[in-house]
Amino acid sequence: MSPTPTVRPAEPDDADAFAACHLACWEEAYSTLWGAERFEDMDVARLAARRRKEIEAGVADHYLVESDGQVVGIAIAGPTRDEDPQADRELYAIYVREAHQGSGIADALLAAAIGDGPASLWTYRDNPRAAAFYVHHDFIPNGAERTDSEGILEIRMVRR
């Protein structure tokens, strides 16, 4: 029996595995929403280099969860980037590999990344699974909307 996966801060040496998990989660979550052509431009090495620099510089807090030696979940959080801040802390990303969803890993990642205090995040409007997860953790849409670089609508959710 394998040990219970635990959340830990990511180190620069984790950047490759962190990026590989991040990209795999994007493919699992957004393959139909984004389309194959968006994934063609993605490069794990480039994403890993970016994550390594961010981790080394302390630009944002990076967390990961390993199971059987594989990174199966990641989270990134830091100061809000919004021009009209709704909270001091923002969840930039949280992803768990499909095979591990529903296991409590996302709950643990969220707690590590932003605690239980006020925070904000942006999520795709047409992502009901993510929205349900955030509502379960007391986030509510606050009416703000924006589009990502591909024109997909995102909504802001806030926890007071």
Render each residue's pLDDT in the chain as its tens digit; 160 residues: 456 788 999 999 999 999 999 999 999 999 888 988 888 889 999 999 999 999 999 989 999 999 999 999 999 999 999 999 999 999 999 999 999 999 999 999 999 999 999 999 999 999 999 999 999 999 999 999 999 988 999 999 999 9
Q: CB neighbours of 32 closer than 8 A, spacing ≥ 6?
A: none
Determine, yes or no, domain membership for 125: yes
What is the Cα–Cα distance from 108 to 26, expressed in whole angstroms?
A: 20
Q: How many domains does the chain have?
A: 1
Give me the CATH number covering residue 64. 3.40.630.30
Determine, yes or no, domain membership for 67: yes
Under a CB-based contact definition with an 8 Å cutoff, are residues 126 and 132 in contact?
Answer: no
Determine, yes or no, domain membership for 2: no
Other Cβ atoms within 10 Å of 24 Cβ, number: 17
Q: What is the pTM of this model?
A: 0.94
What is the Cα–Cα distance from 134 to 141, expressed in whole angstroms?
A: 10
Residue type, 118: P
Residue tagged 């389309």 (tokens): 35
